[in-house]
Structure 1
Amino acid sequence: MKKQRIFPGVVLIGFGLYFLLQQANIESLKPFFTWPTLLLILGLAFLIQAYIGRDYDAILPGVVLAGFGLHFLIVHRLAIWPDHIGIFILIISLGFLLRHLKTGNGLFQGMLFLLLAVMLLFYDKIFSSLGEFGKSVSYIWNFWPILFILIGFYFLISKKR
């Protein structure tokens, strides 16, 4: 019974602190009173539920929500942080891989998303280093979304063994 109270307890404490600090009108904290902070709080609540409550299926939504919230909080404040779709896919990959460590499920999805994130984040460097071969591969690269659609349909249609 105690473990079922972890998530709502953390959410209420987090939101309560958020609104209390907002009412305190502390000038240095004003940039953090935005919706990404609320995403971060929800993500942290899922992660605390996952690790303290041993509800390991909550790892994936926890990493995704906390990661997206953190990304939106720091993307324009930290010059080295990339503002790229690959970051979102990398965060999702991290969620699958962390869940795999505790449940044994999600390794394939995590590695697939990790490969896609690396390819998206380093697309220019990868294909420019391949020279002339990179130009022909770059043309084929334009059709990778079709491959993902086909793999997605395969997962939807195939039956679990």
Structure 2
Amino acid sequence: MKKNGMFSGIVLIGLGLYFFAGQFSLPFFKFFQGWPALFIIFGAALLAQAYSAREYQHLFSGTLLFGFGLQFILVQLWRGWPNEIGVFFLIVALAFLLSARKMKTGLMQSVLFFALSFVILFSERFAHVFHIIETSISFIWKFWPLAFILFGVYILWTKKK
């Protein structure tokens, strides 16, 4: 990190708030106690460092730490917040997407993780669609040996130069 000022400042402020929340039982700071808050502190520091010093290689790790910490806190605060593995895949997809915007790499991984998170999060709602896909694939799978036959016929009938 070329310019540590932003990273160090945010980490010190965050750790100060973290330890201050531990000293006093203020209702507002109750969510700021525990290890998920440390994820948020270091994730926010990495994100601020990435954007302020244009060190975009920190975007991925900063987004992961911030997102995972936020997920753990939101699960504790709201009972209706989804507590499924698909949310973590969604956070990884967002991390790849933010990184891909600046680093010009990782867009395909982002799309794949978005698709995976979509399938995991909404698989119960689309069970009938998955059933149709499953029966279609099982029907096609019975005929995979035809690919060998057709490829063999193609090899035999093509002229060699």
Q: TM class, shorter-chain normalised? A: 0.7 to 0.9
For residue 103 of structure 2, what is the aligned residue in structure 1? 103
The TM-score with structure 1 as length reference comes to 0.76
- Compare CA radii of gyration and give the structure with the larger one: 2
For residue 136 of structure 1, what is the aligned residue in structure 2? 135
Aligned in 2, Cα 1:14/1:28: closer, same or farther, shift over 3 Å? Answer: closer
Question: Over residues 123-160 of structure 1, what are the superposed CA-to-partner deviations in whole Å (9 max), with x where a residue is unaligned?
Answer: 112222x2752553798xxxxxxxxxxxxxxxxxxxxx
Structure 1 runs not aligned, ≥5 long: 140-161
For residue 75 of structure 1, what is the aligned residue in structure 2? 75
Aligned in 2, Cα 1:114/1:25: closer, same or farther, shift over 3 Å? Answer: same
Deviation at 1:3, TM superposition (A): 1.6
Aligned in 2, Cα 1:2/1:126: closer, same or farther, shift over 3 Å? Answer: same
Question: Over residues 6-45 of structure 1, what are the superposed CA-to-partner deviations in whole Å (9 max), with x where a residue is unaligned?
Answer: 2223212210122123223324422431110111111101
Q: RMSD value over aligned CA atoms?
A: 2.3
1:15 aligns with 2:15: yes
Give the secondary structure class of the aligned counterpart of 1:86.
helix
- Same amino acid, percent of matched pairs: 41
User: Given that residues 127 and 138 in structure 1 are in contact (C-alpha distance below 8 angstroms), is that contact kept between their aligned partners in structure 2?
Assistant: no
Give the secondary structure class of the aligned counterpart of 1:125.
coil
Question: Over residues 53-108 of structure 1, what are the superposed CA-to-partner deviations in whole Å (9 max), with x where a residue is unaligned?
Answer: 11111111111101010000011322442110000000000000011111111101
User: Given that residues 127 and 134 in structure 1 are in contact (C-alpha distance below 8 angstroms), is that contact kept between their aligned partners in structure 2?
Assistant: no
User: Given that residues 21 and 30 in structure 2 are in contact (C-alpha distance below 8 angstroms), is that contact kept between their aligned partners in structure 1?
Assistant: no
1:6 aligns with 2:6: yes
User: Given that residues 92 and 113 in structure 1 are in contact (C-alpha distance below 8 angstroms), is that contact kept between their aligned partners in structure 2?
Assistant: yes
The TM-score with structure 2 as length reference comes to 0.76
Aligned in 2, Cα 1:137/1:93: closer, same or farther, shift over 3 Å? Answer: farther
Give the secondary structure class of the aligned counterpart of 1:3.
coil
Give the secondary structure class of the aligned counterpart of 1:124.
coil
Aligned in 2, Cα 1:116/1:83: closer, same or farther, shift over 3 Å? Answer: same
| Aligned residue runs from structure 1 range 1-161, under 5 A | 3-128=3-128, 130=129, 133-134=132-133, 136=135
Specify the code of the residue in structure 1 equivalent to 2:86.
Answer: G
Specify the code of the residue in structure 1 equivalent to 2:58.
Answer: A
User: Given that residues 99 and 106 in structure 2 are in contact (C-alpha distance below 8 angstroms), is that contact kept between their aligned partners in structure 1?
Assistant: yes
Whole-angstrom CA distance in 2 between matches of 1:64 and 1:26: 28
Deviation at 1:111, TM superposition (A): 0.7
